[in-house]
């Protein structure tokens, strides 16, 4: 499968890793939109959050267990935002589910 984030997880494409466990990989976004901008992805290829099922939902639980650890390590004690884009209207550019952690400043109130 020709998937950019699968290649990053596999080390074929370099990334600035910030966290890894059995199910989860997290790395800095190449085009940061806030002082802290980390992408958290399942090691298993899941195309988007719209593809989550009871059979693969352990990956989502693992991601949301990792997120507070990453946020603490990044110094985001004052708050942060977690976003996942889905499909065409959601402007998802990479078809491997990922959660953006954005923080390090007061974020805009508007989300859309």
Interacting residues of 74 by C-beta distance below 8 A, sequence separation 6+: 18, 36, 38, 101, 103, 104
Task: Tell me the closest approach of the beta carbon of residue 79 to ligand DGP, in angstroms.
Answer: 20
List the beta strands (DSSP E) in the chain.
17-20, 24-28, 36-42, 80-83, 99-103
Q: Which residues bind ligand DGP (CB under 6 A)?
A: 4, 13, 15, 27-31, 39, 85, 91-94
- In the set 45, 96, 98, 100, the catalytic residue is 98
Catalytic residue at 45? no
- Which residue, 4 or 58, is less far from ligand DGP as judged by CB? 4
Active-site amino acid positions: 98
């Amino acid at each position: 499968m020709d998937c950019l984030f699968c290649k990053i997880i596999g080390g074929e494409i370099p990334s600035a890793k910030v966290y890894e466990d059995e199910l989860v990989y997290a790395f800095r976004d190449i085009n940061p939109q806030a002082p802290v901008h980390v992408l958290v992805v399942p090691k298993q290829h899941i195309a988007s959050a719209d593809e989550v099922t009871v059979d693969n939902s352990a990956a989502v639980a693992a991601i949301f267990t990792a997120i507070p650890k990453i946020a603490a390590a990044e110094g985001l004690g004052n708050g942060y935002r977690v976003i996942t884009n889905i499909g065409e209207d959601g402007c998802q550019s990479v078809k491997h589910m990922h959660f953006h952690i954005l923080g390090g400043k007061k974020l805009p109130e508007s989300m859309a």
